[in-house]
Structure 1
Amino acid sequence: MSDKKTIAIIGAGIVGVSAAVWLQRDGHDVILIDKAGPAEGTSHGNGGVLASCSIVPVTVPGLLGKAPRMLFSPSEPLFMKWGYFPKLVPWLTRYLSHAKAHEVDRIAAALTPIIGDSLNDHKALAEGTGAEKWLVPSDYLFLYRDRAHFEGDAFGWGIRRKHGFHWDELEGQALQDYDPVFSRDISFATRLADHGHITDPGRYVKDLAAHVEANGGRILRAEVEDVTRNAGKVNGVRAGGETISCDTTIVSAGVWSGPLAKRLGISVPLESERGYHLELVTPSAMPRSPVMVASGKFVATPMDGRIRLAGIVEFGGLDAPPSRAPFELLRKNARAALPGVTWKEEIEWMGHRPAPADSIPIIGEVPGISGAYMGFGHHHIGLTGGPKTGRLLAQMIAGRTPNTDTSVYAPARFAT
């Protein structure tokens, strides 16, 4: 292994904590720095699915034609805070430029090595940490009204097939036999094996962070203002009014990574895809496996004592409060998909997915600055891809060559 380093990791969500675990296993000293503490942001509120098959970006051909109708329909899972729209336009223009078949193919090829074996990546990460108890191997189902509805998604399923994903089909009574909890109006499903889910994502990441701390890592609750350098090499991070010495740093603060990245010469076109979840606490019945309900573009995941419904894309920046309409849509969609299920209470949450305009995460060393690395920008797949991202970063820092081509993720593509 390389010389022992002191590594400051900025951001204690799934990516930062995964990197910390793997770096400790390599013998390094790690410091996790987060303004709110481990798993207090997106890693707390995600859908909980290890969605290895989610390699198809939102920017598929035809999106430009569909988006206006979606924005003005209260039944569609796309929302906009219109006062934010002028600020969004430059990012949105770049984002929509990728809604082409060859771009989808390129993005899917980039995402597959990061998320395509997520269950095993999580098993390797969690082994011996005490967090294993939250990890459940499972199928992952996509639910459709009927076969014609499924065939309308043929483009995306073709991309998945090309990248090695296989599924079987459940239709009519076969779907009811698999899981009778869903409405009979849903008569067709694809079932993908070898997926999984986390029954409490927040606790899972907190337990991983506790393992890091128990093994000598430091966890600091502070906001990082800058990365300090000397002669082109990282020598510390400035946080909470003090400078914390380190040899190496990783920027893995999700959507809040943008300003720090810019200070390091990397100008990522990054926006918040505001995501919502609604938890149905103490439900009368649970889905057997996590599912994506295609008609509403939301997932329903069985968790510890609750069903978490997660989905919705809203553009509105980091500062605006949650909107009511997304919660109402999730509630309406839940009642339609799970008509016989009752629950005792609900928990609402809104958070921020880090969305780079090209839908490909930023992972790797910053050009021209020795010891500066980045790992953020995973859109909807942060939980799914966090463990592999953390392991890749640990390999890069140790000077080992990862077994996948990492050039497509390189921060250099956004160098100023």
Structure 2
Amino acid sequence: MNPQSDHRRQVTVIGAGIVGISCALNLLRDGHDVTVVDRVPPGEGCSRGNAGLFSSDSFVPLSLPGTLRKVPGWLLDPLGPLAIRWRHAPRLLPWLIRFVLAGRPDRVKAICDALEPLLDSSLEHHLALAKGTEAEGLIRSEGCMYVYEDAKSLADEAKSWDLRQARGTIVEKLNAAQIREREPALAPIFEHGYYVSNVGHTVEPMLLVKGLAKYFAQSGGVILQREVRYIEIGPEGPSRLITDGDDLDIDVLVIAAGAFSNRLTAGLGSPVPLEGERGYHVTIANAGIPLNMPVFANTYKFIATPMAPGIRIAGTAEFGGLDAEPNFARADVLATHAKWMFPDIDTSDVTTWSGLRPTLPDSLPVIGPSPVFGNLFFAFGHQHVGLTGGPKT
């Protein structure tokens, strides 16, 4: 559906995270009647606990040449960035094979070329989407810093930075003194770094989504808190949502249900190799240190972001299936990382969180019309860049 050229339609969006609410608000502004359906209130799924970045340079896929050889070390390291629930491993194997194949040089280039336009100018698109809403005051534009302990760890990421710079990412290379000048609370172990200016962040991801959702509802959109149990198919495609409340007739349907999207699309003739990649965060209130901008620590693949409730340390990737319970020992690891990164941080006041990222093997989200039904559209699979790519989706 091209909202600019089609006549007014009734559109139902399943999913009230940043992607679903962004789609809904854009459709409403383009003149359509829009209803959002989710089992939880807006912003309280994966959008609640992300790292908060609008990271236009994050188009480099998760799988790169050389990634495979790092995996055993990550899995064996109790403080490492990757974990697999071994009970889930047999079901994960086909996904892992596709993930490895996506790291071939020709595929990496193609993935970057496809993902970069979605993420480009994310900060500016967030500002435009949030204009006139309560979300507008939650956006910051201080940039982001990436830090490395030594020349070897910097060299290990050279390919990733080459891919970024080849597509126009402007970076400033930093030495140890420049890193400390920008962020004096960092441990003195970081000898090299990059600063990227065209990165923004939000100081409260959940409230950002709620602010957009509130504006959407005040502008005539409808938000229903219901669990979708089944989608009925009519002669033209999806025709009715069967929910735990009243059923809903459908004209046009958008599936933006994050990690749970495949449970809906598989019954609509479009199974997708989507995994729920569990991430964790700790938010440290009253941390007692300054932090001016988000800082990514390469060694353990996590990021520290200054937010209204405190400093958020977010990261790790855990594969255990959609129904596995969180292992909050992974969040405790992030608290340990915080002390490693910021020696003077006070971690006595900590809250933890866990959520499921929707991740495909090639890092590319599924965006666009269904190949089966003309009134069905997909908007999911944004892995680590749902917040970044939400407005343009």
1:207 aligns with 2:207: no
Could you tell me whether the CA contact under 8 Å between 2:56 and 2:120 is conserved in 1? yes
Match of 1:398 in 2: none
Match of 1:228 in 2: 232
State the 1:312 CA deviation: 0.2
Deviates more, 1:348-357 or 1:319-328: 319-328
Deviates more, 1:241-250 or 1:97-106: 241-250
1: CA distance, partners of 2:245 / 2:349: 42
Could you tell me whether the CA contact under 8 Å between 2:283 and 2:309 is conserved in 1? no
1:325 aligns with 2:329: yes
1: CA distance, partners of 2:276 / 2:309: 29
Q: Deviations over 1:186-239 (max 9, x none)?
A: 122100002100100001101111111111211111111233333224433222
State the 1:241 CA deviation: 5.0
Deviates more, 1:95-104 or 1:227-236: 227-236
CA change 1:120–1:6 in 2 (3 A) is same
Alignment of 1:83-122 (within 5 A): 83-122=87-126
Deviates more, 1:92-101 or 1:329-338: 92-101
State the 1:344 CA deviation: 4.4
1:75 to 76, 79, 82: 79
Could you tell me whether the CA contact under 8 Å between 1:234 and 1:370 is conserved in 2? no
1:282 aligns with 2:286: yes
1: CA distance, partners of 2:140 / 2:184: 21
Alignment of 1:162-311 (within 5 A): 162-240=166-244, 242-311=246-315
Q: Counterpart of 2:340 in 1: which secondary structure?
A: helix
1: CA distance, partners of 2:124 / 2:46: 22
Match of 1:345 in 2: 349
- Which ranges of 4 or more aligned residues in structure 1 deviate by more than 6 Å? none
Could you tell me whether the CA contact under 8 Å between 2:255 and 2:377 is conserved in 1? yes
2: CA distance, partners of 1:33 / 1:183: 45
Q: Deviations over 1:267-319 (max 9, x none)?
A: 10011111010111121123111011111100000000300000000111122
Structure 2 counterpart of 1:195, one-letter code: V
2: CA distance, partners of 1:258 / 1:169: 41
Q: Deviations over 1:307-335 (max 9, x none)?
A: 00000001111222221432232111110
Alignment of 1:400-411 (within 5 A): none
Could you tell me whether the CA contact under 8 Å between 1:39 and 1:202 is conserved in 2? yes
Could you tell me whether the CA contact under 8 Å between 1:77 and 1:326 is conserved in 2? no
Q: Counterpart of 1:131 in 2: which secondary structure?
A: helix
Alignment of 1:122-161 (within 5 A): 122-161=126-165
Structure 1: gaps (5+ residues) = 390-416
Structure 2 counterpart of 1:180, one-letter code: P
Q: Deviations over 1:56-81 (max 9, x none)?
A: 11211122222122111113111111
Q: Counterpart of 1:302 in 2: which secondary structure?
A: strand
Match of 2:20 in 1: 16
1: CA distance, partners of 2:245 / 2:327: 35
Match of 2:375 in 1: 371
State the 1:343 CA deviation: 4.2
User: How many residue pairs get matched?
Assistant: 389
1:55 aligns with 2:59: yes
Q: Counterpart of 1:284 in 2: which secondary structure?
A: coil
Q: Counterpart of 2:134 in 1: which secondary structure?
A: coil
2: CA distance, partners of 1:234 / 1:381: 28
2: CA distance, partners of 1:36 / 1:296: 32
> CA RMSD of the aligned region, Å?
1.4
Q: Counterpart of 1:138 in 2: which secondary structure?
A: coil
